[in-house]
Amino acid sequence: MKFNPIQTLEKIAKIIDCKFVGDASFPVLGMNEIHVVEPGDIVFVDHPKYYDKALKSAATIVLINKEVECPEGKALLISEDPFRDFNKLTLYFNPFIASKESISPSSKIGEGTVIQPNVFVGNNVTIGKNCLIHSNVSIYDNTIIGDYVTIHAGTILGSDAFYYKNRPEGFDKLISGGRVVLKNHVDIGAACTIDKGVTGDTTIGEGTKIDNQVHVGHDTVIGKKCLIASQTGIAGCVIIEDEVTLWGQVGVTSGITIGKKAVISAQSGISKSLEGGKSYFGTPADDFRSKYKEIASIRLIPAMLEDIKNLKK
**pLDDT (tens digit per residue) in 211-248:** 999 999 999 999 999 999 999 999 999 999 999 999 99
156 in the same domain as 278: yes
55 in the same domain as 146: no
Burial of 226 (0-12, 13-18, 19+ CB in 10 A): buried
Is position 102 within any domain?
A: no
Give how far Cα 308 sits from Cα of 261, 305, 311, Å: 45, 5, 5
Alpha-carbon distance of 11 to 25, in angstroms, equals 9
Give me the domain span that covers residue 258: 108-288
46 in the same domain as 143: no
Is position 300 within any domain?
A: no
DSSP-derived letter for residue 274 is B
230 in the same domain as 122: yes
271 in the same domain as 166: yes
Amino acid at 233: G
Measuring CA to CA, which residue among 116, 154, 149, 121 is closest to residue 136? Answer: 154
Is position 309 within any domain?
A: no
What CATH number is attached to the domain comprising 275? 2.160.10.10
152 in the same domain as 12: no
What tens-digit pLDDT sequence spans the chain (313 residues)? 899 899 999 999 999 999 999 999 999 999 999 888 999 999 999 999 999 999 999 999 999 999 999 999 999 999 999 999 999 999 999 999 999 999 999 999 999 999 999 999 999 999 999 999 999 999 999 999 999 999 999 999 999 999 999 999 999 999 999 999 999 999 999 999 999 999 999 999 999 999 999 999 999 999 999 999 999 999 999 999 999 999 999 999 999 999 999 999 999 999 999 999 999 999 888 887 777 777 777 787 887 777 777 777 6
Q: Is 35 a catalytic residue?
A: no
Domain count, the chain: 2
197 in the same domain as 115: yes
DSSP 72-86: TT-EEEE-S-HHHHH
Is position 99 within any domain?
A: no
Is position 294 within any domain?
A: no
198 in the same domain as 144: yes
Is position 313 within any domain?
A: no
188 in the same domain as 119: yes
Q: For strands 75-78 and 19-21, give the pairing.
A: antiparallel
62 in the same domain as 178: no
Alpha-carbon distance of 138 to 122, in angstroms, equals 8
Strands of 208-270 (E only): list them: 209-210, 215-216, 221-222, 227-228, 233-234, 239-240, 245-246, 251-252, 257-258, 263-264, 269-270
What CATH number is attached to the domain comprising 10? 3.40.1390.10
Is position 256 within any domain?
A: yes
213 in the same domain as 168: yes
208 in the same domain as 75: no
Residue tagged active-site, from 134, 152, 215, 218: 218
